[in-house]
Chains A and B, each alone.
Chain A
Amino acid sequence: MPDVTVRFRAADTLPARDLWSDIVAREPGSPPPAPAGRRVAAAIVALAVVIAGLAIAVRAFHRPHPVVPAGAVANGKILVYNLYASAAHQIWVMNPDGSGMRELRKLPANASLPAWSPDGKRIAFAIANSSSRPMEIWIAQADGSGAHVVFACADHFSTAKCHQVFDGLAWSPGGRQIAFLLGSLYVMNEDGTSLHRLYRLNLRTVSSPPAWSPDGRWILFPRTTGGAPGAGGAGNLYLAAADGSGIRQLTHCGPIGHATCAAVLPTWAPDGRSIAFADETTGAIRTIGVDGSNLRTLVTPPRGMWYRNPIWSPDGNDIVYEEFPMLGSKLPPIVTVYEMRADGSNPITLHVSGQPILLSWQRLPSQS
């Protein structure tokens, strides 16, 4: 018999219909056409070509999160905190299509919890509190060069406070200030000056970084009460006015066991109208309007898995998130990174590896 490799040559006799008219007519992310007869499908495609212009116009009005003017921004690289990497280099970047994952080797050792500056040119990150080193916040160029300390916790607070759990930071939309949670909500200038406590919170656990709204008015943060989510506590999201005028509760998740949600890891839509978050009760990725209305579930994980760490693309079209095996699951510790449309449709796999944690998506000016 012919060798296996030789047998594949015969595959060139398989059919390959010209799909170009189908391609230009289809809206990406639309469900596959029903496997009806090919003549019917061809008729549908022909009809779609005729009404394509109308469909695009209609879609513009029905997109769940439009805001960012088309072509105003482009999606840059995604920062990944890769716990399976060497201790020296745990911050990686990957392209928006999941390719090209690589270490940012110029960053200092033990750098963690990175966030792109709003202009996509710099990265703020923490050298988080180990038992021997109080927390510090650093800023570097996009390639990791020029890293320097802007905030050394030990210069401002007690040793005990500096060893509290620190879980990331948020840039202000203009890139001039940085907010972070350390028991309370603090804000400082990007160079570390003018540090001040915006709100006293008495947070005992922090489950994710704060998130500054695109219009600069709000700083969103999660707060857990009665224990960590998943361990008897409730997780909710709060909106703190950036001018210090007050805090309001956004989600109303009750204690685990009686709750409909446990909200952590929030990410703003670029239009500032809605927020995506991970629901630690169900493992789903959900969205809620900034006024607390329209709580929706975008995707629900298969049994034994969690979805976590949603991040919204700068152009507002997509959300990237991760699938983790549940704690105690017998499933292998494989993390799959997915991308879906912002309305929850068409999830595709971007990356599969040990344990990446997505943290920030670079916002670039459009090249067009």
Chain B
Amino acid sequence: MSETRTRVDPRTRWEDAYREVGPRLQRALLLYSGDLDLAEDATAEAFAQGIRRGSAVRDPGAWVWRTAFRIAAGRLKERSRSAGRLPETAYDPPDSVRDLVVALRELSAAQRASIVLHDYAGYPASEIASIIGSTAPAVFVHLSRARKRLRTMLEDDDA
């Protein structure tokens, strides 16, 4: 029995991946960085690098999350080396998430990445560890501390 194979244009494959995960990735990076320009740039750069690698990337969706977060972390590191705290930006988030975005800025970079990837993007700890270059147990610690701090800060806001 003959088998029919269709060749998928690599760019189409990446565009499909962008349509599937791009907006969510962009929002996750916005939560992580608090900077709209940086979130858009890291998203676009990660997909552009993915297109360059073409078929060498087996899972574009997973690859682009890892790459985009590393690009964003690198950009933030360039801009501020002060204990993971984010530099001030002019971005003004919508009312529905303003307090969350403001509170996230008070977390360390690892805590911020862990809780955004877990609570917003839905990644398990082992994959978060792979994305941020850590271990699953360390991610659990980051998550626990991040939730505790966020809870305190957001409760204070609500009071």
Contacts and interface: CB of A to CB of B under 8 A. Distances in A.
A294 interface: no
A84 B147 CA distance: 32
Contacts of A4: 115, 119, 147, 150-151, 154
B97 interface: yes
Contacts of A347: 74
A20 B63 contact: no
B133 A353 contact: yes
A15 B36 contact: yes
B38 interface: yes
B11 interface: yes
Interface residues of A, number: 44
B9 interface: no
Given A10-B96, A26-B45, A349 B151 contact: no
B37 A11 contact: no
A16 B151 contact: no
B26 interface: yes
Contacts of A26: 44-45, 48
B23 A16 contact: yes
Interface string A22-37: 1110111100110100
A46 interface: no
Contacts of A350: 70
A8 B100 contact: yes
B55 A368 contact: yes
Nearest to B68: A348
B154 A23 contact: no
Contacts of A295: none
22 contacts: A4-B154, A5-B119, A8-B31, A8-B120, A11-B100, A16-B22, A19-B44, A24-B11, A24-B48, A24-B51, A26-B44, A26-B48, A28-B51, A32-B38, A32-B41, A74-B56, A96-B53, A97-B67, A317-B52, A347-B74, A349-B133, A352-B134
Given A19-B18, A28-B45, 16 more contacts: A8-B100, A10-B97, A11-B31, A11-B97, A13-B96, A14-B31, A14-B94, A14-B97, A16-B27, A19-B44, A23-B18, A24-B48, A29-B49, A74-B56, A98-B66, A302-B81
